[in-house]
Every structure is written in C-alpha cells, then in structure tokens.
Structure 1
Amino acid sequence: MQGERIFSGSPYEEKAGYARAAVAGGWIFVSGTTGFDAQTKEFPADVEAQCENCFRNIEIALERAGATLKDLVRVQIFVTSQEEFERIIPIIRKHCYEARPANTTVFAQLVAPHMRVEVEAIAVAPSGK
C-alpha cells in the first residue's frame, strides 16, 4: 500500500473496505463524507446540520493528515434536490470560501433515505507527505 490511510471509525469503512482519506503523491483524497454525527451516532434531520457535519468530518480527516480546509483544491457535493442545495449554499461558502476549491454539485439519490448531502474532497498534502 502506498501512502497513508486515515480512518474515522465508521463501520462502513471496515464493511466496504475503504479509508476515510488517503494521502499519496502530495494529495489528500477524502472519501464521500455524509452528515453523520459521530458524537450522537445519528444523522440530523435537516440538510443544513448534515452539511455542517460533512465539513466537520472532512476537517477532522484533513487534520489527521496535517492539513486544513484551507488546503482544499476540489469538492464534489451530492445533494438530493435543488431546494436542499439552495439551503446549504451558505454552509458551503462558510467552509470553502477561503480555499476557493473547484466544485461540482450533483443532484442524486444517496444510499439511504435519511442521508441528504454527501461531500467528497481533495486537498494538497503538507510538504513531505
């Protein structure tokens, strides 16, 4: 295995055989991250809280790799509808504005009905990683 793997403890990482993030070749690739709240072990009902959790979980993975949200270069956002996208725009801006990553947003049905948003990210790794 090349590079470093970062795990969040999500049962799906073990079940499906993936890492929360992979550090390789000067990049940090963060898997699609949902709005799961690791402390309550639940998904909030509203899309805004789920989106906040997505970015919080991404930030934790990046910190474990020695990076921050300021190091983001690309995000891909999957959201269930145009209406929900409009509701999370301020949250995306809050977490991405400083880095100004490239962004693709896709309307999609997610893997479970209670999931309303999922964010995938790529960041520049700190020097030497």
Structure 2
Amino acid sequence: MEKRITNPWKWQNERGYVQAIEVTKPEGTLYISGQTAIDANGISSNADMRTQLTLTIENLEKVIKEAGYECKNIVRLNMYTTSTDELFTCFDVFLNWIALHNIKQASTLLEVKSLFEKLKIELEVTVVK
C-alpha cells in the first residue's frame, strides 16, 4: 500500500487531520461502523465527554486490531458529537491518540442533535492495509 497526502495549507496540521489522502495498491480496506463508549456488556456510558472519548477510542482500537489492521493506517475518520464545545475541552485526548499512532486522516466533524441513549461521541473510520 502507498499513501500520498495533499495539504495545500498548513493550518489543518494543528487540528489533527489532512485535506486529502490517496491510497494506491491497498491489500484490503476495512470500513468500521461508528464506535462509541459502550462497554463489553453493551451498556452505554453516561460519563463525561473525556471519559466517553477515551472509551470510544479504546473500542475503535479493539475492532481495528481484531480485524488485523493497524491504527496508523486509518485514512478516513468521521466524528459525530452532541457538543463540539464539550468535545474541544478534551480534544487533547484525540490529538494525543493520533500523534501516538502517526495517523494522517481525512476527517469530518459534525455536531448532531443526539446519539444513542446518553452517548456524546461516535467515531467512524476507514482503515487500509
């Protein structure tokens, strides 16, 4: 697999994403359903945004690893949140996670009216191999 990033500007670098990423010659592509802060028993978290974001990332990593892929090969990451204001108070959790795995992904962030039950954040990704 080969990846090529296109960033006509520099400002997106501080926000944790790239403008475009081209993938050629992939061995496989993994499309992951939106992951949230639901525990192994299927119970949705009603914790604060920071706690939910951390658990959501842990769940996402589990799916990626069990499918035989690596976080560093995430090429698309969509974020859905019930509060961008609340998300930005703990955005360091997200930025530290993408830095840890050297993730360079195209992204979309959307504030939505609600998510399932009391959930505050959902991450949807595409990973290549």
TM-score, length-scaled by structure 1: 0.69
**What is the alpha-carbon distance in structure 1 between the residues aligned to residue 43 and residue 30 of structure 2?**
26
Q: Which residue of 2 aligns with 1:61?
A: 63
> In terms of mean alpha carbon deviation, does 36-45 or 105-114 score higher?
36-45
Partner SS for 1:45: coil
Partner SS for 2:89: helix
Greater RCO, 1 or 2 (C-alpha within 8 Å, sep 6+): 2
Contact 1:69 1:95 in 2 (8 A): no
**What is the alpha-carbon distance in structure 2 between the residues aligned to residue 33 and residue 117 of structure 1?**
8
Structure 2 stretches lacking a partner, 5+ long = 1-26
Alignment of 1:21-32 (within 5 A): 26-32=28-34
Q: Does 1:105 align with 2:121?
A: no
Partner SS for 2:116: coil
**What is the alpha-carbon distance in structure 2 between the residues aligned to residue 40 and residue 64 of structure 1?**
18
Alignment of 1:104-123 (within 5 A): 104-123=108-127
Structure 1 stretches lacking a partner, 5+ long = 1-24
What letter is aligned with 2:86? Answer: E
Offset at residue 109 of structure 1 (A): 2.2
**What is the alpha-carbon distance in structure 1 between the residues aligned to residue 78 and residue 113 of structure 2?**
15
Q: Which residue of 2 aligns with 1:81?
A: 83
CA change 1:29–1:106 in 2 (3 A) is same
- What percent of counterpart residues are identical? 24
Offset at residue 69 of structure 1 (A): 1.3
Alignment of 1:19-58 (within 5 A): 26-38=28-40, 41-58=43-60
The RMSD of aligned alpha carbons is: 2.1
